[in-house]
Structure 1
Amino acid sequence: MTPATWGAALGATLAAGLLLVATGLVAARRPRLATRVAPYVRDVPRLTSRPVPTTSAARGVFGPLLGTAADAVERVLGGATSVRRRLQRAGLTASVAEFRVQQVVWGLVGFAVAAAYSLLKALTHPGGVVAPVLLCLTAFAAGVLLRDQHLTSQVKQRERRILEEFPTVAELLALSVAAGESPVSALDRVVRRSGGELSRDLATVLAEVRTGEPVGAAFDRMAASTGLPLVSRFAQGVAVAVERGTPLADVLHAQAADVREAGRRELIETAARREVAMMVPVVFLVLPVTVLFAFWPGVVGLSLTTP
């Protein structure tokens, strides 16, 4: 293909993209018929300002294609149960199908970057077609896998924040229970007074309890859904304490002490690893320079005195 043909193709692609964006903006700004008629109807209460979800033209056009591609990715990769559990552990409300669509979008971004690079390289240095095609396919696969790795990193970050919040939340629960409040009242107080990932999980437990589920069953479900052994033991301990009537404050204090001790051990292990890593620049950068400064004057003196 000549440069003029490539330019025409790129121009047509850009024009189609701008047309889709403009169509989506027009569709999003168009008010509904009920919204326009509501001010003139006296017997109908005014509508609230709650945003109404709209479907853009781009989603209507590319949605089925993305869904088909997501189904293909699901058939190739599999592991829907693992993905669903990681989504739950990451605190995300997306379903497995929506996550597969996100993987396809990330893959398409990588495909587009590789295609743009291949196009620029073809304009400057024309060559074969096999290498650019393989590069684009590799970039697509890398984008799909990168989204999966990003989900794993989201899970680790959220669980790290939960471990940081856990001792404080457990102590607050223990103090509330020791003050004479019931487990549900103490849980409600802690959820209202605190904020964070663990507080959101406890808010979910509180909502389940208020819908009629037993406290022990709600905490058992929390223990089954979490991926942290410490939090799982905490939830199981609370469930057992509520069912058998054991002192809940002592259980919570012991759980908080265990988490603090685990955090202290992890900090010591991290410091030991960092201490070894700190020796790398000292040995490979500082020490050679020091040896060079120490021996260089002697080498120069010997070269001057030796005939």
Structure 2
Amino acid sequence: MTPAFWGVVVGGSFAGGLLLVASRVLVIRRTQLAIRVLPYVRDLPQVGRVPALRVVSSSPSAAVAGVFGPVIRSAADLVEKVLGGARSIERRLQRARIDKTVHEFRIEQVVWGLVGFGVGAAYGLLKVLGGGINPVLALVICGLGFAAGVIARDNRLSSQATGRERQIVAEFPTVAELLALAVAAGESPVAALDRVVRRSNGELSADLADVLAKVRTGEPVSTAFDGLAASTGLPLVARFASGVAVAVERGTPLADVLHAQAADVREAGRRELIETGARKEVFMMAPVVFLVLPITIVFAFYPGAIGLSLTTP
């Protein structure tokens, strides 16, 4: 190791420590409004309000959050400014049924990025100590690791939303048939919905439970189902919610509508399965052509070739 390299390492560590201390001092200097006001309103009743100040915990995680929290939140704001797409993230969070805000998701992206940065830093440090990599290239690897972590968290959110939608599609025919049977038995749409929500578990049942909660708080049934149709990312669920809303408003037979929608979803699933099988058939030919067929040819022609070589003078 050259003295210049160790000078860069020590100087970088010293500069990082100074930046951390300076950022924390700036945060401490900004006195919160709650700290100035709370002593004068401490005795007032707290009904329906959340206290602005929380008891400071002495755990190491709370200390780490207190030190690095402002820096991570600032980094999350920077990621939001660079990447944008807050509406898309909010939509995917809603589709995945994740109770988080866009800012909280950005914080998770920063944490994932820091993990990727740490992995890249460890790899670059090992290579630098071994003398096999340029320090500038090591910094580029760290930056790429941070970007990879941020992108990986975004892809993870998309996969969570897609997986939940697959579960909803798989549950939809059964839930629709249960609703149709309950309505055909003479129950009202709200009572049938309550029965299905109590008797079933799954992602679609959770969405219907939210609709039932809105209905019980006084919202009209059609409006609640219209809200479900607007919030869902699946066309079949949107058609189901719109059909129920129209049936409730106009008094059309709801059981027939639900039976027809369940049959349509099953037929669509059958067609998708056939199309998937047709696509997989092409991939199934690859081992047959490149593995089984050459071995068959070798077994068929190799003994004859050996016999010819033995009988030929």
Report the CA distance between 1:125 and its aligned residue. 2.7
Query: Match for 1:182: what amino acid?
Result: S
Counterpart position of 1:152:
158
Gaps of 5+ in 1: 13-51
| Higher deviation after alignment, 73-82 or 271-280 | 271-280
Query: Match for 1:94: what amino acid?
Result: K
Counterpart position of 2:80:
74
Within-5 A mapping of 1:1-307: 56-307=62-313
Report the CA distance between 1:295 and its aligned residue. 1.9
Alpha-carbon distance change, 144 to 270 in structure 1, aligned in 2, over 3 angstroms: same
Aligned-residue RMSD, C-alpha: 2.3
TM-score by length of structure 1 reads 0.81
Report the CA distance between 1:206 and its aligned residue. 0.6
In the alignment, the residues of structure 2 paired with residue 293 and residue 209 of structure 1 have an alpha-carbon distance, to the nearest angstrom, of 72
In the alignment, the residues of structure 1 paired with residue 144 and residue 307 of structure 2 have an alpha-carbon distance, to the nearest angstrom, of 59
Counterpart position of 2:24:
none
Q: Retained in 1: the 8 A contact 2:124–2:133? A: no
Report the CA distance between 1:2 and its aligned residue. 7.0
Identity, in percent, stands at 70
In the alignment, the residues of structure 2 paired with residue 242 and residue 180 of structure 1 have an alpha-carbon distance, to the nearest angstrom, of 14
Equivalent residue of 2:187, what SS? Answer: coil
In the alignment, the residues of structure 2 paired with residue 274 and residue 127 of structure 1 have an alpha-carbon distance, to the nearest angstrom, of 44
Query: Match for 1:109: what amino acid?
Result: V
Q: How many residues align?
A: 266
TM-score by length of structure 2 reads 0.80
In the alignment, the residues of structure 1 paired with residue 164 and residue 93 of structure 2 have an alpha-carbon distance, to the nearest angstrom, of 11
Report the CA distance between 1:304 and its aligned residue. 3.3
Gaps of 5+ in 2: 14-54
Alpha-carbon distance change, 127 to 176 in structure 1, aligned in 2, over 3 angstroms: closer
Report the CA distance between 1:296 and its aligned residue. 1.8
Report the CA distance between 1:177 and its aligned residue. 0.9
In the alignment, the residues of structure 2 paired with residue 78 and residue 88 of structure 1 have an alpha-carbon distance, to the nearest angstrom, of 17
Report the CA distance between 1:211 and its aligned residue. 1.0
| Higher deviation after alignment, 130-139 or 217-226 | 130-139
Equivalent residue of 1:56, what SS? Answer: helix
Query: Alpha-carbon deviations, 1:243-289, whole Å to 9, x = none?
Result: 11111111111111111111111111111112221111111111111
Query: Alpha-carbon deviations, 1:112-169, whole Å to 9, x = none?
Result: 1111111112222354212111111111111111111111111111000001111111
In the alignment, the residues of structure 2 paired with residue 53 and residue 284 of structure 1 have an alpha-carbon distance, to the nearest angstrom, of 66
Alpha-carbon distance change, 233 to 53 in structure 1, aligned in 2, over 3 angstroms: farther
Alpha-carbon distance change, 169 to 116 in structure 1, aligned in 2, over 3 angstroms: same
In the alignment, the residues of structure 2 paired with residue 145 and residue 240 of structure 1 have an alpha-carbon distance, to the nearest angstrom, of 41
In the alignment, the residues of structure 2 paired with residue 249 and residue 226 of structure 1 have an alpha-carbon distance, to the nearest angstrom, of 22
